[in-house]
Structure 1
Amino acid sequence: MKKSERQRQFVQKHIALFRCPVCKAPMEEVDKNSIICQRGHRIDFNRHGYLHFLSGAADTEYGREMFVARRRLLSAGLFLPIIEAVSQKLPEQPLRILDVGTGEGTPLAQLAQIRKSLADTLVGFDIDKAGVTLATQLPITAFSCVADLRQLPFNGESFDALIELFSPSDYAEFNRVLAPGGCLIKVVPNAGYLKEVRQLLYGDHQQKSSYDNRRVLDLFKQHYPDCQQQTIHYQFTVPQDMKQALVEMTPLHWGRGGRRLTTADYAQLDKVTVDVSLLIAKKFE
């Protein structure tokens, strides 16, 4: 079966998840190459099999090269301990899971592999179509789409769990689409995250020489006062042929004042620190 046909079948089976981005009415049916809402608005599947729920082009700095670099590192295990920790926080029962800011989809694919016996319903979205195009190439039963987290194309209470790795948030939208009793798991970087890359790029005395996540943590805790927080800290050995890809996969290298790294600089990146906080909240029933 072609990839695009698998995607259409997924949407047909799970049509109750989706709502129209134009009028907010529930989507009602899949008709040939389109999904149609109750009021007749139609959105076409593109040639890669995914749906584009934005009204225009997204303004994003990410490109295909960054997502390809990210896939190489994540496939080598850079975030695997994080995904394993996320999985441990999820109930061992079939869930409807939404991956916020899915990018090129590797974290969702790794979660699917860990939970393969549970037959979860998996949906990932991102504002960047380059990432979503790559995500559709992964051999997992999941649906990917282009969407804006501030106007999610999903009906209320459609998901049992939302996971979010290093992505912006819209907590009002998250609470709208999360079912009562469902959980939100957000992963945010701590001060030590990829500190070796930060040091090489910015040294000791620039604005980006350090990172403080207190504002992000405080905002999450304002919305979810009873949340849990778990620190995950480990060293990742960087494969010899992926050192440049490691730098290219992170927005750190875009920053003003960042150095252009030399061969000698890359040679220092034998290991990097992964230092993140797992924030876990539950929507009250």
Structure 2
Amino acid sequence: MKKIERGARFVAQNKELFRCPTCKAPFSKVEKTTVYCIKEHQFDLSKKGTLYLIKHGVKSDYDDDAMWQARRTLLQAGFFDPIIEEITNQIGKRAGIKVLDIGCGEGSVLQRLEHKQADSSDRYVGFDISKRAINLATQQETAGFFCIADLADLPFSEQSFDYLIDIFSPSAYSEFARVQKKSGKLLKVIPNANYLGELRRLLYAENDEKHEYSNQKVLDLFYKHYPKATSTRIKYGFSLDDALFTALMKMTPLQWGASAESLQKAASQPLKQITVDVTLLSGEK
């Protein structure tokens, strides 16, 4: 089956998950490769089986093919595997769950999560504001569906998802709460102070504001919206060869503000191991 046909079938079978980004009305039908809402606004599936569900033009610092490919290289090498393992532990073996991957990027997290859960009755939707990332995500071996969307104006129906997965993405908590089921959870991963600490110290001098990082403001905001939230720390070392270090440098926003001298120094002294130190926050309504 072609990707566009598979995408059309997914939307047709799961219309209740979506709403029109133009008028907020539910999707009503799929005719061939065109999706309609009940007010007859229409959206054409791309050849890759995706939908563009943003009302406005977008500009993103993350719309870079090489950066997304570097992220895929790292994640396929297992860079986030302990994080994904803990997410699956918290979800447990529930059949028929509906999962939304917020800022899914090139799709590796969604694909690996789906394969770990291994239940054909589950439904997975990933979205990102980057069209380049979503095009790359469609290369994954997954039954999930990908679309281009804005997290501040989600094209999804009220109380439609059991689990919202947010790994390092910004948050629009009012929108998240709207699409989160009453019994659902938001699982948000945020970096701790020593996340990629070796690279941060390599790129930035002690007197530079980027030499240190605090996630306190992000934590405070999460607990403001989810006062009864729980947290789990996940910390481990990840081994790097030269190719993986190059991919890490290309993937991380840490390199954006670094000086040319610091970047040259890092390239000549590639790290052999990096610390992954994050907190998984779990919030229920």
**Normalised TM-score (structure 2):** 0.96
CA distance in 1, matches of 2:242, 2:22: 48
**Which residues of structure 1 form unaligned runs of 5+?**
none
What secondary structure, in the 3-state scheme, does the structure 1 residue paired with 2:263 have?
coil
Counterparts of 1:1-285 in structure 2 under 5 Å?
1-62=1-62, 63-94=64-95, 95-117=97-119, 119-255=121-257, 257=259, 259-262=261-264, 265-283=267-285
TM-score normalised according to structure 1 size? 0.96
When structure 1 is superposed on structure 2, of 64-73 and 47-56 the one drifting more is 47-56
- Structure 2: how far apart are the matches of 1:259 and 1:269? 16
Call closer, same or farther: CA 1:103–1:60 in 2, change over 3 Å. Answer: same
Structure 1 residue 199: deviation in Å? 1.4
> Quick check: 1:202–1:259 contact (8 Å CA) kept in 2?
no
The 1-side partners of 2:31 and 2:121 are apart by 26
CA distance in 1 between counterparts of 2:207 and 2:215 reads 18
Task: Tell me the amino acid that sits aligned with residue 281 of structure 2.
Answer: L
**Deviation of the 1:257 alpha carbon:** 4.1
For 1:18 and 1:89, locate their aligned partners in 2 and report how far apart those are by CA, in whole Å.
25
Contact 2:234 2:278 (8 Å CA) reproduced: yes
Change in 2 beyond 3 A, CA 1:29/1:85: same
CA–CA distance in structure 1, aligned partners of residues 12 and 116 of structure 2: 26
Label 1:264 to 1:65 Cα distance change in 2 as closer, same or farther (>3 A).
closer
Q: Deviations over 1:126-161 (max 9, x none)?
A: 011111111111011000000001110011011011
Q: 1:149 to 1:202 in 2, by over 3 A?
A: same
Residue identity in the other structure for 1:168: P
User: How many aligned positions are there?
Assistant: 283
Within 1, Cα distance between the matches of 2:121 and 2:253?
34
Report sequence identity in percent.
44
1: CA distance, partners of 2:35 / 2:273: 47
> Is the partner of 1:261 in helix, strand or coil?
helix
- RMSD of aligned alpha carbons: 1.4
- Structure 2 gaps of 5+ residues are none
| In structure 1, C-alpha distance between the alignment counterparts of 2:176 and 2:12, rounded to whole Å | 23
Alignment-mate amino acid for residue 27 of structure 1 = F
